[in-house]
Amino acid sequence: MDFIFHEKQEGFLCAQHCLNNLLQGEYFSPVELASIAHQLDEEERMRMAEGGVTSEEYLAFLQQPSENMDDTGFFSIQVISNALKFWELISDTCLANFLARLQQEAYSVFVVKGDLPDCEADQLLQIISVEEMDTPKLNGKKLVKEKEHRVYKTVLEKVS
């Protein structure tokens, strides 16, 4: 991989930026996410209509704005979930292409099948609780890691 894709936050389009950053490319636009939201709205309308198009619940539902999106750029978790379902359909092909590209770039690719044995590091992580009490301070682009700037609370128990 030559670089890490990062889509800068614009407005309230958190869902779009989250999906594109997760998938490492410009895969979803506000228009595409709005289309998914409209499909969800239509499915919800059809389900509500099953109770009767003259029922009070259905008429009240029609008066409410969409809960899947709004004009600020908000998209519901259902929109994000449906967008990822679409991505799953092509993910096997993308994974195969990605692995092939890594091999062409002389990377080694290993597949591990089955359960990995427990290791000492995993056991220690289960018994040690580390909590950061003070936020690290930034100095330009370097992180100041002085001992007096960070306080840790650690609980140690004997591993048996």
Q: What is the pLDDT of residues 65-96, one digit of tens each?
A: 999 999 888 899 999 999 988 776 566 677 77
* pLDDT single digits (tens) 23-32: 888 889 999 9
Q: Would you tell me which CATH number, out of the four given (3.40.190.10, 1.10.287.10, 3.40.50.720, 3.40.50.10090), belongs to the domain 14-104?
A: 1.10.287.10
To the nearest whole percent, how much of the chain has pLDDT over 70? 75
The answer to whether 38 touches 45, Cβ cutoff 8 Å, is no
Q: Where in the chain is the domain with CATH 1.10.287.10?
A: 14-104
- Predicted TM-score of the model (pTM): 0.54
| Rg of the chain over all Cα atoms, to the nearest angstrom | 24
Q: What span, in angstroms and rounded, lies between the C-alpha atoms of 50 and 20?
A: 36
CA gap 124, 160 in Å, rounded = 11
